Amino acid sequence: MSIRHATVTAPQISEHIGEITIVAEDDAVVGIYYPGHWTKPDRSAFGPEVSHGSDPAIAAAVEQLHDYLDGGRDTLDFAMRANGSDFEERVWGILRQIPYGETLTYGGIAEQLGDRSLARMVGQAVGHNPLSIAVPCHRVVGADGSLTGYAGGLERKRFLLGLEGAIEENAPTLF
């Protein structure tokens, strides 16, 4: 089937987080990106554009994202695959384990990896997560609980964490 993408602006998505681009390869989603995403690959790597309703892998992701954004789902389990370095894969594995409605710090992830001094490298790996929302990098916060660095923008991070009940409306933000 190869690589292809769909740009999704359905009400449940655009109302809350704006347009997203979902990239699929074969039978799995390999990327979920926002406009202005910090680490979005060149669009030419996304392959041809398809209708999200006509592509089974993308359609499953869209349906589950709608349910999540409407508060009807707290896990996303559509077929997905992220390709990164061994270190990135380890970090992304930890991200997948952060429960809905909870947060973890960069330092906490570094400790799980066995070395708190890896926090900066953890931040880089989190920032390069290609599966926004699905691999919940929005659940990673600063050491003091502040909202820091989100490739899709801090307002989206605030919305997602608020949706999950993980933060209060007036949570501190570091720019």
Domain-wise residue ranges, the chain: 3-69, 86-163
pLDDT of residue 37: 83
Q: For residue 90, which of 117, 126, 116 has the smallest C-alpha distance?
A: 126
Higher-pLDDT residue of 18 and 93 is: 93
pLDDT above 90 covers a percentage of the chain that reads 67
User: Can you give the pLDDT at residue 149?
Assistant: 84
Average pLDDT, the chain: 90
Average pLDDT over residues 145-153: 88
Active site residue 137: yes
Per-residue model confidence as pLDDT tens digits over 91-122: 999 999 999 999 999 999 999 999 999 999 99
Which comes out higher in pLDDT, residue 151 or 91? Answer: 91
Place of tokens 């655009």: 14
| Distances, alpha carbon 31 to alpha carbons 93, 106, 165, in Å | 16, 22, 25
Give the pLDDT of residue 171. Answer: 52
Tell me the pLDDT band of 175, cut-offs 50, 70 and 90: very low
- C-alpha–C-alpha distance, residues 20 and 42, integer Å: 15
For range 63-86, the mean pLDDT: 93
| Residue 52 scores a pLDDT above 50 | yes
- The reported pLDDT for the residue numbered 38 is 80
Residue 72 backbone phi and psi in degrees, to 5: -95, 5
Question: Could you give the 3-state DSSP secondary structure of residue 21?
Answer: strand
58, 69, 91, 137: which is the annotated catalytic residue? 137
Q: Has domain 3-69 been given CATH number 3.30.160?
A: yes
Q: Is pLDDT above 90 for 41?
A: no
Calculate mean pLDDT across residues 140-167.
91
Average pLDDT over residues 56-81: 94
Could you give the CA distance from residue 92 to residue 140 in angstroms, rounded to a whole number? 11
Does 86-163 carry CATH code 2.10.50.10? no
